[in-house]
A and B are shown apart, each in its own frame.
Chain A
């Protein structure tokens, strides 16, 4: 049985069809990627799986561990083991890093926050009592968000553009954390338009214009992204994201 099954998922926002029938199966303990140019609908798909407000009224179905979750709220999906890291993490006024991580943690021991910070390459002493606010850089906030996800021990971890705002050295921390979660049996869903991130996946779905236009082993999908970012010419889809900022 797959961990997650997307069955012809369609979503309209403001009368515009953004997801046009996404079908995909994700198995337990594997790393997947949804890749595609800007505007392909990748973040929308992530929000739809998480069930954010405005992303719940779908056609088709989302099956998690054999049960439909499409009627469930965010927190109910999270309690079943699904979580999401946003491309741009939230800023909190005053909430400490320790409290933030512990709120997510499955085991509530104080060591959990420390271990999670270490696992994403942050020195616990330096961060644990700091406020999760604008005094932290975007990259730091992203790692802290990832730390909270590690502590949560989720079954399906969706990471939306995990490399954005992250420097090269830190990128390795993120990749290590992905490996760490996979080793503990989690399924990782990477949302990305970066070939480097794509390379972390075992299996990838190429998205274009709200549809999956290709899927296969990572090696087979990579060529579309290796520097040249081919326009989407699959299955008679219109060109999307060609050129400059397409990738």
Chain B
């Protein structure tokens, strides 16, 4: 704990990370709106923060060759109504370094707006994986705008998994763009469950610039009630032996609406990119099978969607 700052117990509890935050070997940073309320550094990791009026600038470096064993916990929350939080994040995973992040974004109050703008650099042979879980209230409408620009060096690995399946989405806008050098790996997964009048916009772009770079964009969306989703996934391969795949699945129920626009662009004869997109209601045979085991229609739909979302 830094500077004896008192932790906001609620945020940690809601994220179910209170145990992890106590662990001496687990680095963490916890931000409530524009204040860093708790933080722990570990060897090989350098965190610099700057608190601003409406948010915090965070610069985070994993030093060359350092392997951070336990996931670095990040927690962003807004505990007041009608408040905005803007996080500017710069992450650098230096050559040969490795780190994984587990990030929680807790927005329990109505009218909150969380903006994240990240610039991420992954060095040669460096590995980065980032898991972001959102926990929103069921009865409050919030806004989330998350943008990231990512550069992945030679043989570097970038993996990200965005999950928003607990609580209302509100309005979500994701825009991630990653480019990979030679033999790098880019994997982006987004899993979102929308209800009521939620609006989901996801834009994921991968540029496979180096030879034998690999990329996979996966999106799993469920929209119920009157929720709407627009998914723009784009994979561009411009080097020999680059391999990419775009995969979008959306289940719609009630008056939900979903749109998927996969763009696949190949500018090298030895590169190869594929895509699949499926939008529709719950598969009838899946549904009837579960009902033939005694589940009600609602229970069966719930389970099928849960499965698809990997919940």
Residues of A within 8 A of B (CB): 50, 52-53, 73-75, 77-79, 82-84, 86, 89-96, 99, 103-104, 131-132, 145, 148-149, 152
Contact = CB atoms under 8 A, between A and B. Distances in A.
Interface stretch (B30-38, B148-156, B296-304): B296-304
21 contacts: A50-B292, A53-B288, A74-B288, A74-B292, A75-B296, A78-B293, A78-B294, A82-B292, A84-B292, A86-B289, A91-B286, A93-B304, A94-B307, A94-B308, A95-B306, A99-B303, A103-B293, A103-B295, A104-B293, A104-B294, A148-B293
Interface in B126-147: none
Contacts of B249: 93
Instruction: Name which of B220, B286, B293, B296 has the most chain A CB atoms within 10 A of its CB.
Output: B293
A46 B299 CA distance: 23
B294 A152 contact: yes
Given A94-B310, A95-B303, A99-B303, 7 more contacts: A74-B291, A77-B292, A83-B293, A90-B283, A93-B249, A149-B293, A152-B294
B13 interface: no
A161 to B, nearest CB: 15
A79 B294 contact: yes
A90 B285 contact: yes
Given A86-B289, A89-B289, A95 B304 contact: yes
Interface size class of B (residues with CB under 8 A): 20 to 34
A89 B293 CA distance: 13
Contacts, number: 76
Contacts of A79: 294
Given A75-B297, A95-B306, A99-B303, A90 B292 contact: no
Contact of B307 (A52, A53, A89, A93): A93
A62 to B, nearest CB: 15
A93 B283 CA distance: 10
Contact of A90 (B289, B296, B308): B289
B165 to A, nearest CB: 12
B93 to A, nearest CB: 29
B284 A53 contact: yes
A220 to B, nearest CB: 31
B290 interface: yes
A53 B310 CA distance: 28
Given A86-B289, A99-B303, A103-B290, A93 B308 contact: yes
Contacts of B296: 75
A76 B184 CA distance: 53
B223 interface: no
B271 interface: no
A94 B293 contact: no
Contacts of B303: 95, 99, 103
B309 interface: yes
Contacts of A83: 292-294
A83 B307 CA distance: 22
Nearest to A74: B291
A90 B286 contact: yes
A104 B294 CA distance: 7
Nearest to A106: B294
A86 B286 CA distance: 11
Instruction: Name which of B288, B299, B304, B308 has the most chain A CB atoms within 10 A of its CB.
Output: B288
Contacts of B294: 75, 78-79, 83, 104, 152
B293 A152 contact: yes
Interface string B249-291: 1000000000000000000000000000000000111101111
Interface in B214-234: 220
Contact of B289 (A73, A82, A145): A145
Contacts of A86: 285, 289
The 5 tightest CB contacts between A and B, nearest first, are A95-B307, A104-B293, A90-B285, A78-B294, A94-B307
Nearest to A105: B293
Contacts of A96: 307
B304 to A, nearest CB: 7
B222 to A, nearest CB: 11
Interface in B178-196: none
A152 B294 CA distance: 9
Contacts of B285: 86, 90
A75 B289 CA distance: 10
A169 to B, nearest CB: 25
Interface string B1-23: 00000000000000000000000
A83 to B, nearest CB: 5
Instruction: Name which of B220, B286, B299, B309 has the most chain A CB atoms within 10 A of its CB.
Output: B286
